[in-house]
């Protein structure tokens, strides 16, 4: 980093230290306030979120606006909860495991794992949990989009890596992910965002064809990993770790391309299931269906 970037990094660290003193209740209050401000001050995102909910969930406008406004508040909390990663983990009194049997199965799993998650609930605190699932030297990795600003990137990385998970940029991450999976590590991907057509499988998602990132599926098939859908949902002031039964890519049949599509379809449908159950906790202001499939003549 340059001198000015180092200065901004230290200023961010100082601000983060002050905000951490607010703890979970204060952060929730500020996060909800941030969401309400964005709701009121960014009408383009408000209209997009409402339209998305009406089109993909079939809600009337009043219900869609109520769900969208709650979604903005959840998003505001997610942005600030990154400051609390060092205070949250497997032993947190605020955590409830929805399926203890599946959690035990996950913790005892001796196979490579691709964790498929989404911009849903508290996705930042989820990294804290994944960093504590296994002990070193077993790899624990989260693939993320890197920030262009070096000071912001360094600050965000220091928060996300507070409990042991390594953050790796999504560009040129393939070889690092493959090495981690060959060592029976767990690698988490956000699989619900729009992607370019060159990286996509076009699959149904919430009633409309969407460009689904096929990278996690390709890497899972290549390393014969288990694909495990996981999210961290909010429940009042607390959090619920939710997971579904995994897909074992070693059992898939067909060509490599068919196996990749099966894996991508699996995690897309799993994430859709989470969203339909608690739609207010998903990131509806995102233009998820922006990339369109080009139909060949």
Domains and CATH numbers, the chain: 3-281 (3.40.1130)
User: What average pLDDT does this structure show over 233-253?
Assistant: 97
User: What average pLDDT does this structure show over 79-107?
Assistant: 94
H/E element holding 187? strand 186-190
Q: CB-hemisphere CA count at 13 Å for 148?
A: 0
- Tokens 């998903």 belong to 282
pLDDT score of 252 more than 50:
yes
Residues 113 and 118: their CA atoms lie apart, in Å, by: 16
CB neighbour burial string for 227-254, b if at least 16 within 10 angstroms, e if fewer: bbbbbbbbeeeebbbbbbebbebeebee
pLDDT score of 221 more than 90:
yes
User: What average pLDDT does this structure show over 121-139?
Assistant: 92
Residue 297: predicted pLDDT: 45
CA dist 31 → 19, 26, 34, 45, 81 (Å): 11, 8, 5, 17, 8
Residue 169: predicted pLDDT: 84
pLDDT score of 295 more than 80:
no
Residues 25 and 242: their CA atoms lie apart, in Å, by: 22
Say which residue, 260 or 159, is predicted with more confidence.
260
Tokens of 164: 């042991």
Ordered alpha helix ranges (H), the chain = 3-20, 23-41, 43-57, 61-81, 100-108, 123-130, 150-160, 174-182, 215-223, 256-277
pLDDT score of 170 more than 80:
no
User: What average pLDDT does this structure show over 1-13?
Assistant: 91
Confidence of residue 129 (pLDDT cuts 50, 70, 90): confident
pTM, to two decimals: 0.94
pLDDT score of 145 more than 90:
no
For the chain, percent of residues with pLDDT exceeding 90: 84
Confidence of residue 106 (pLDDT cuts 50, 70, 90): very high
* Residues 21-36: tens digit of each pLDDT: 999 999 999 999 999 9
Closest among 77, 65, 88, 81 to 16, alpha carbons compared: 81
Say which residue, 222 or 156, is predicted with more confidence.
222
Partners of 144 in beta bridges: 169
Residue 146: predicted pLDDT: 84
Residue 109: predicted pLDDT: 95
| Contact assessment for residue 114 and residue 219, using Cβ atoms and an 8 Å cutoff | yes
* Residues 67-79: tens digit of each pLDDT: 999 999 999 999 9
User: What average pLDDT does this structure show over 232-237?
Assistant: 95
Residues 136 and 180: their CA atoms lie apart, in Å, by: 12
Ordered alpha helix ranges (H), 131-255 = 150-160, 174-182, 215-223
Residue 264: predicted pLDDT: 97
Residue 132: predicted pLDDT: 92
Closest among 173, 120, 121 to 146, alpha carbons compared: 173
| Contact assessment for residue 125 and residue 163, using Cβ atoms and an 8 Å cutoff | no
Residues 284 and 50: their CA atoms lie apart, in Å, by: 8
Confidence of residue 171 (pLDDT cuts 50, 70, 90): confident
For the chain, percent of residues with pLDDT exceeding 70: 99
């Amino acid at each position: 980093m340059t001198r000015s970037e180092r200065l901004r990094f230290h200023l961010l660290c100082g601000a983060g230290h002050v905000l951490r003193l607010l703890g979970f209740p204060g952060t929730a209050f500020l996060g909800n306030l941030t969401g309400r401000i964005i709701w009121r001050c960014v009408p383009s995102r408000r209209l997009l979120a409402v339209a998305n909910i009406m089109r993909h969930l079939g809600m009337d406008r009043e219900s869609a606006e109520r769900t969208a406004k709650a979604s903005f508040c959840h998003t505001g909390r997610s942005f600030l909860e990154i400051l609390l990663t060092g205070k949250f983990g497997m032993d947190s009194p605020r955590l409830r495991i929805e399926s203890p049997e599946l959690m035990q199965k996950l913790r005892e799993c001796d196979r490579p794992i691709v964790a498929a998650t989404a911009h849903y609930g508290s996705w930042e605190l989820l990294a804290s949990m994944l960093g504590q699932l296994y002990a070193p030297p077993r790899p624990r990795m989260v693939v993320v989009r890197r920030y262009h600003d070096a000071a912001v990137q360094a600050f965000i990385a220091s928060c996300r890596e507070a409990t042991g998970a390594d953050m790796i940029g999504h560009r040129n991450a393939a070889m690092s992910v493959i090495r981690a999976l060959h060592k029976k590590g767990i690698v988490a991907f956000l699989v619900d965002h729009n992607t370019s057509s060159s990286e996509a499988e076009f699959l149904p998602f919430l009633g409309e064809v969407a460009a689904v990132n096929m990278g996690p599926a390709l890497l899972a098939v290549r390393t014969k990993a288990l694909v495990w859908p996981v999210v961290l949902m909010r429940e009042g002031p607390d959090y619920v770790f939710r997971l579904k039964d995994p897909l074992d890519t070693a059992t898939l049949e067909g060509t490599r391309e068919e196996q990749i599509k099966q894996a991508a379809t699996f995690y897309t449908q799993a994430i859709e299931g989470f969203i339909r159950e608690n739609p207010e906790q998903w990131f509806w202001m995102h233009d998820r269906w922006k990339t369109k499939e080009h139909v060949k003549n």
